[in-house]
Structure 1
């Protein structure tokens, strides 16, 4: 599928897969940090097949989207991008955000509670377990010099997430890697994305997310990987105190990368939620 492009803040081009009837209920998929829109490939197909108009975005600096000229990858810039994509739609969408995408969605709704009709947070909440965040950051900052082959990259992913079965072929990683002029494969995101102090940034984002949660009135689902080291039971309980109508789906056998770890269960949970919240009034 060829990418379509939206224009975000300061003219930043945002690549996206777009599918389904444009008159159908819209759903925007926002991936996690260091990922690309292809992380949603199966969920995208399922949502389109079930009658949704789906936009799966490459966040600024990721995948085929533009790298920020000024290196601005703040949540404010990402919220600005999201608002500009939503402005192209005829009706309010559901927002489905994994990790970083969930942070953007929640903080965006905190600033404008009418921005969307429903919210799905995928393994993200205001309380983020620092040990899990540190492990993600360490992986993302490793291999700055890239990989000699797809097989080498696949081996690195397996070491990071040994619980997930290693695919028979590493070819699926091509969409997440770019082949540089020196012949080495590097992750498909701007390295400046990792310039900020991750722990200080996490604490500030947690504060902003908690304030935003107080303003959420739309239907909200938290999908948590039961094996997650980023979102704990205490994280869930805290968010439920601030969003009393919050629904929670624990996905068996899944860690932080919920959709990739148990895609069938993930798809079933978000479809059940969206079918109740998006289609009944459509």
Structure 2
């Protein structure tokens, strides 16, 4: 998608018109007023798109140089091809606040306007938990509907418990949970899998040797890298009378 960049120097009339528009990354409360007092808008950088959309950056020339800003934003705008038609997106730039910093604005643009295809994902669950004093391998399957900024779906997981051997025989006790899950990631524009929150219900057909009565779980999972995540949570059993903290690791 070809873009034409228009650079303006100190154009006060244009700046006043721009400030009157809605700012996408407006600082909280009265911080925008304070920012305009300390670092008033003196310059603008405008990117025009073939669909009659515009990206307008407002900044103070004591913080940024036009040429440097153009070099930083041009590579991003080559990838973010989903800008709305006939609309001007206005961003305030300043290193004073987290949401107005250049890196934060670039991340917002990537998260909102990178091409993305909603999809259904199927994958396995493999890991190990420490639950109530016992290590339980975890296996299962997950189905997620993956959207631009979040994913929602469910999984069926088995917390496998190995009780003490009797007469040398190894017995396996399965603990099947049906889980609802929600995932998101604000730090990665190309993924929504950095964080996951889930709740689950024990649906065993056979009696569990770990849990009794109504048993539920809640957990939070954080991705460490492409292949490994850590997970922490709590399991409620005996009809919400007993609670076990859990911590574990997940692969993939």
User: Which bin holds the TM-score, normalised by the shorter protein?
Assistant: under 0.3
TM-score scaled by structure 2?
0.20
Looking at secondary structure, tell me which structure has more helix per residue.
1
Q: TM-score normalized by structure 1?
A: 0.19
Higher relative contact order (CA 8 A, sep 6+): 1
Structure 1 or 2: more strand by fraction: 2
